[in-house]
Structure 1
């Protein structure tokens, strides 16, 4: 069994192929906790003809683009210090040749194992296994949703490195800086395939407090966008992804995506009665908030529901197919408002419930917004405004940069870094996991209940 030997820094190459994005990253992390992203790129399959992700098109895109993207990434590996190209760079096993030049060999390979589309995941996992065998390094196959939850910790490490930290002495340089946010914290993980409120207690201990009982919020937004946005605006879009969330946001609030101080003219609901109040357009139609007939007990607070509102919008557009652009924009804003308030009210309940019961060290002080939908600026605005309206002004709300909200390999690299430093490794015979719960209490168990993990002895400090 390979020992976990101490060193100043760690280097990994990461692959993410859980859906339609082919992603590769190279991340370096110092023992101090600071990180540097040497490479982070992705190629998204062209799904426009299908108005959504087509599995066969996505897996073909992975097969076509992953190897060239890995080859491109290798050119960004750090160069070893003090070694000339003419030297035998493989004599110490720590370097590889890339385009005839010596580069540092990654210490391990990171990859997404699940959850996601099985064939897509397999493309990335098989590439990762091949690299791990070729370079004789460990494999770390991680949980995609765990990576979304930990993304703000990656961001804090990258930002710390950008501050050009200069240690006063060697002891300062080797001391571990605490990652932010520190456990425990809550994560609202919102994407096209997942909607869940997660209580992250530690690296591998994540309890699901609420999740969707039907479709995911990102899926619902995409469906509503295709119904509400006029076809000429959709056809003019140049996006290759087939994801309509960003177009929907800009259509609902023109100019908001480019403005740092956009005025949404939004007033949060002050009470439960306001939360469940129907939206009256004044144009002869209304929208009903999700789960408006349920109270806010523990059962209702553990559920997100989006199919009902999606069906209501579909019926409304069918009956009013001649709705003009201004009316469609009102509908888009109302739909987005009801959806985001529905998400946030469950978050408010969880914060109040936990912090009323917990001792000081277990109180939640940070909320993480992550996943593709978290890139929506109006969602961030609604969460902050509603928390403030309910007296939760001291809760910090963190959302990664847009590029790190959507699927990316950098978050996979970071999660693998944390797992690696905790001693975890993955067997080479593991298979993909289409479903892989975060919560240890869920059916099938949590992160560490998956087969194929082993742990190496940790070095003594």
Structure 2
């Protein structure tokens, strides 16, 4: 009897010690978490589910989906159409992804919601951000309102789990809505070295393409497709009136600014002078014209980056090119060929699917912010203009030492 009682007591102590050890392990282990990310800054309704299963490895992209407004017939994005598109589709996308991936139960629900808060078109932003606020309340999980530009900047760091590129690094953010050269000192400290005074480079490329008869929902991609089919025409002589802006003294030659608005009029002047205002029907001639305009637009961006490096005496080894236009392979080649001799050693480009607007970049930027202790109050609203240089000046941030 005594032996049996002793065995029972020893067994109870063994179980108790095992339970204590398990609690100790759990206490000292960083918990993995699930992330739902939403991006609706323009004409794309985007959702991504991410599993941050380990702090030492890149998160797993469980599912990502996008529905883009067809604006080809409208000749560009109409803000009211984009807003209606996002409000109509974003809730459906989120609901279907949650169902398909079985993330709806109390055990599998997302632990963090990230959504684009700005900059962008207010009507489009509101559809996704308000949904994110509602889900944060319903699930009782934190919310991170992400700056759209920060998403583009940070997405290349996801593959290395935030280790590369190291700070400081230089970036060219280029798309249909923005073109700027940025010097990043840390996750929350960014300096714009060159910004556009009028339209973005992607917008200029689209306008040139339309003037030369290119149609479709994504003009830039259609232009690149045509040029790829006629690579032998690249650089061949063609009658054209095109010059890089801001090369003359009266153009403020040493100004750290971009200007792309003139390219549209340069296309029209070329067609008027050499082609009687008619669009050339010969595909090879059209390819030569498109190549020259594209090349000059790209050169304008690179010339100003080189000027910024010179004026600021930058000693930066890492360079990122991100945004919709960054998927252009010829732009990537020009950047490497010309910035390599200027001191840049390492070039980083997102995967093609992550160049255009997407929710994965918002999820990763949200993860980086969250793990540095940043969350957003659910009483906040979207904002049309939110300079990346004033990332933390926007009201609504809440800060803890860390959220791990």
Same fold (TM over 0.5): yes
Q: Which runs of 5+ in 2 are unaligned?
A: 1-27
1:307 aligns with 2:261: yes
Q: TM-score scaled by structure 2?
A: 0.86
Q: Quick check: which one's helix share is greater?
A: 2
Distance 1:293 1:126, change over 3 A: same
1:120-159 to 2 correspondences below 5 Å: 120-157=124-161
1:372 equivalent in alignment to 2:324: yes
SS of equivalent to 1:51: coil
7 and 246 in structure 1: CA distance in 2 versus 1, 3 angstrom threshold: same
SS in 1 for 2:248: coil
Task: Provide the C-alpha distance between the structure 2 equivalents of 1:179 and 1:72, rounded to a whole number of angstroms.
Answer: 33
Kindly state the Cα deviation for residue 64 of structure 1 after the two structures are TM-superposed: 1.8
Judging changes above 3 Å, is the alpha-carbon distance between structure 1 residues 217 and 6 closer, same or farther for their aligned structure 2 residues? farther
The yes-or-no answer on 1:206 pairing with 2:181 is no
2:81 corresponds to which of 37, 49, 57: 57
Q: Secondary structure at the match of 2:338?
A: helix
Q: Matches of 1:25 and 1:366 in 2, distance apart?
A: 28
8 Å contact 2:370–2:402 — kept in the other structure? no
Q: CA deviation at 1:327?
A: 2.3
Question: Is it true that 1:251 corresponds to 2:233 in the alignment?
Answer: no
Equivalent residue number for residue 342 of structure 1: 300
Distance 1:133 1:296, change over 3 A: same
Alignment deviations for residues 174-209 of structure 1 (CA, whole Å, 9 cap, x no partner): xxxx62111110110001110100001100001000
* Aligned partner (choices 252, 255, 270) of residue 316 of structure 1: 270
Shift of 1:104: 1.6
Judge conservation of contact 2:195–2:257 (CA < 8 Å) in 1.
yes
Change in CA separation of 1:135 and 1:413 when aligned onto 2, cut-off 3 Å: same
Following TM superposition, by how much is the alpha carbon of 1:6 offset from its aligned partner in structure 2, in angstroms?
Answer: 6.8
Query: How many pairs does the alignment contain?
Result: 372
Alpha carbons of structure 1 residues 378 and 367: separation in structure 2 relative to 1, 3 Å: same
1:107 to 2:111 alignment: yes
Query: Could you tell me how far apart the structure 2 residues matched to 1:51 and 1:297 are?
Result: 33
Deviation at 1:434, TM superposition (A): 0.2
Q: CA 1:340 to 1:406, structure 2 compared with 1: closer, same or farther past 3 Å?
A: same
- The structure with the larger Rg is 2
The secondary structure found in structure 2 opposite 1:449 is: coil
1:26-425 equivalent positions in 2, closer than 5 A: 26-29=49-52, 30-75=54-99, 77=101, 96-97=104-105, 104-157=108-161, 179-229=163-213, 234=215, 242-254=217-229, 281=237, 283=239, 285-294=240-249, 299-300=254-255, 302-319=256-273, 320=275, 321-322=277-278, 323-325=280-282, 326-354=284-312, 356=313, 363-388=315-340, 390-392=341-343, 395-425=345-375
Q: Which residue of 2 aligns with 1:273?
A: none
How far the C-alpha of 1:386 sits from its partner, in A, is: 1.7
In 2, Cα distance between equivalents of 1:365 and 1:297: 28
Local SS of the residue matching 1:400? coil
Residue-by-residue CA offset, 1:438-461 (whole Å, 9 max, x unaligned): 11xxxxxx010001111124379x
Q: In structure 1, what is the equivalent of residue 37 of structure 2?
A: 14
Q: Once superposed, which parts of structure 1, at least 4 consecutive aligned residues long, lie more than 6 Å away?
A: 263-266, 295-298
Cα shift at 1:12: 0.8
1:142 partner SS? strand
Cα deviation digits, residues 335-381 of structure 1 (max 9, x gap)? 01111011112222333455x46xxxxx3111101000111111111
Q: RMSD in angstroms over aligned alpha carbons? A: 2.5
Cα distance in 1 between the residues matched to 2:158 and 2:259: 31
2:72 and 2:211 mapped to 1: Cα distance? Answer: 15
